[in-house]
Amino acid sequence: MGLGTVALTGAAGNIGSVVRTALRPEAERLILLDRVPLRPETDNEDVHTIDLRDAAAVDSALAGAGQVIHLGGVPDEAPLADLLEANVLGTHHVLEAARRGGIERVVLASSNRVTGFYPVSHRTAPQHPVRPDGLYAVSKAAIEALGQLYADKFGLSVVCLRIGSFEPTPTEPRHLATWLSPRDAVGYIRAALTAPPSVRFATAYAVSANTRRFWELPDPAVLGYTPVDDAESHARDIAGAGLPADPTAPQAGPYALPEFTLRHLRP
């Protein structure tokens, strides 16, 4: 099934680059947005060098899109003002462009770290209250709330993907639970784009089929994708993989440490 005209923000990023390559043959037209200059590589690519904080530029770039994959923004811990501008305000501009332009589906890149303070022993589901592990996670919880608002108030169809540890292969013990392979990332995003129109708002963890995962996989009736990769197949190459995990430790691992956020706060 063809995907029509799909817009992709953050197209130059790690995930965006993989998604761009994977969806290029399936999309009638692929609109690529990033602050980093890009060049079209095929006839069906349309590139825009913009800052998502510029509402008018976002409106213009998304004109004619039927669906949006929103990956753009600050990808890690930072001062709250920067996160609010790039992540929350940028997402607001994307959702506003979707509302104004009659875009059918918006896929928002959230993060597993919105629930980072649940203990490792807790099997976390999207309906559980958020427990952010830092300021970055707070900004992602806010974009989920924006997505819910635009679905409830304006009738947009919004799917939030709580993305796991996106890496070519898992490289540390935490990844044995949190890894999201490139193949599974594309599978989740494609499923989010093609979910039934009856899916008005949904939140799902985008994580590979890891034996040690601590997040629930999506309901197939909502998101029709079953992950295929398992970090366990790489465990022999990861130092410390055989050590038992502390069941009371936060799922966020080092991201939950005070020091991770304190360096972004005024002394």
Query: Residue type at 197?
Result: P
Q: 26 is written with which tokens?
A: 């399936």
Q: Say if residues 87 and 142 touch (Cβ distance below 8 Å).
A: yes
- Cα(123)–Cα(14) distance, rounded to whole angstroms? 28
- Cα(131)–Cα(138) distance, rounded to whole angstroms? 9
Q: Say if residues 72 and 33 touch (Cβ distance below 8 Å).
A: yes
CA distances from 151 to 53, 95, 243 (A): 22, 10, 44
Among the options 118, 136, 188, 225, which is catalytic?
136
CA distances from 87 to 142, 178, 212, 245, 255 (A): 9, 22, 30, 32, 18
Q: Identify whether 225 is a catalytic site residue.
A: no
In degrees and rounded to multiples of 5, residue 204 shows phi and psi of -145, 150
84 Rama sector, left if φ>0, alpha if ψ -120 to 50, beta otherwise? alpha
CA distances from 97 to 46, 60, 128 (A): 17, 8, 30
**Active site amino acids:** 136
